[in-house]
Chains A and B, each alone.
Chain A
Amino acid sequence: DQQVKQNSPSLSVQEGRISILNCDYTNSMFDYFLWYKKYPAEGPTFLISISSIKDKNEDGRFTVFLNKSAKHLSLHIVPSQPGDSAVYFCAASGGGNTPLVFGKGTRLSVIA
Chain B
Amino acid sequence: GAGVSQSPRYKVAKRGQDVALRCDPISGHVSLFWYQQALGQGPEFLTYFQNEAQLDKSGLPSDRFFAERPEGSVSTLKIQRTQQEDSAVYLCASSPPGTGGQETQYFGPGTRLLVL
Q: Hey, which bits of chain B sit against chain A, CB under 8 A?
A: 4, 6, 31, 33, 35, 40-45, 48, 50, 56, 59, 91, 93, 95, 98, 101-110, 112
Contact = CB atoms under 8 A, between A and B. Distances in A.
A51 interface: yes
A36 B107 contact: yes
Interface residues of A, number: 26
Contacts of B59: 99
Contacts of A43: 4, 6, 91, 93, 107-110
Interface of A: 4, 31-32, 34, 36, 41-46, 49, 51, 89, 91, 93, 95-97, 99-105
Contacts of A32: 101-102
Contacts of A103: 42
Contacts of A100: 33, 35, 43, 45, 93, 105
B48 to A, nearest CB: 6
A92 to B, nearest CB: 11
Nearest to A2: B42
A104 B31 contact: no
A69 to B, nearest CB: 21
A36 B50 CA distance: 23
* Residue of A41, A45, A49 with most chain B CB atoms under a 10 A cut-off: A41
A103 B40 CA distance: 11
Given A43-B109, A97-B98, A104 B45 contact: no
B42 A102 contact: yes
A45 B107 contact: yes
A99 B33 contact: yes
20 contacts: A31-B102, A32-B102, A34-B104, A41-B109, A42-B109, A42-B110, A43-B91, A43-B110, A46-B106, A51-B102, A89-B43, A93-B102, A96-B102, A97-B48, A97-B50, A97-B101, A99-B56, A100-B93, A100-B105, A102-B42
Contacts of B42: 4, 89, 91, 102-105
B60 to A, nearest CB: 12
